[in-house]
Amino acid sequence: MGIMVSEVYEAFPEAGAPRERAKAVAERLTTMQDIARLDAKIGGLEGKIGGLEGKIGGLEAKMWKAGIAIAGVAVLLNQCLEWAAR
């Protein structure tokens, strides 16, 4: 239990609420805090995924350029071989 949740748990009975109710509220607050932490982590992961998608896009572009260059070299090599065969 976090400090705030613990304080809520202790304050409810002091205000006259049953301990069971205080426990239920404290557990609910803990769950909400856990969800908020997970949400923040997911947001961070989404940002990292976006960055990776950008890098993958850049790599794809480089692969296309390399493929075109290889194809050009293959054409030139083929022409050289044909010329040498004459």
State the Cα–Cα distance between residues 49 and 40, nearest whole angstrom.
14
pLDDT band with cut points at 50, 70 and 90 for residue 85: confident
pLDDT of residue 20: 87
CA atoms within 13 A on the CB side of 80: 6
User: CA separation (Å) from 64 to 18, 56, 69, 70, 78?
Assistant: 68, 12, 9, 10, 21
H-state helical runs in the chain? 3-14, 19-85
20-73 pLDDT, tens per residue?
A: 888 888 888 888 989 999 999 999 999 999 999 999 999 999 999 999 999 999
pLDDT at 9 over 90: no
The whole-number pLDDT of residue 3 equals 66
User: In whole angstroms, what is the distance from residue 14 CA to residue 31 CA?
Assistant: 23
Looking at residue 69, its pLDDT comes to: 94
Neighbour tally for 26: CB within 10 Å = 21
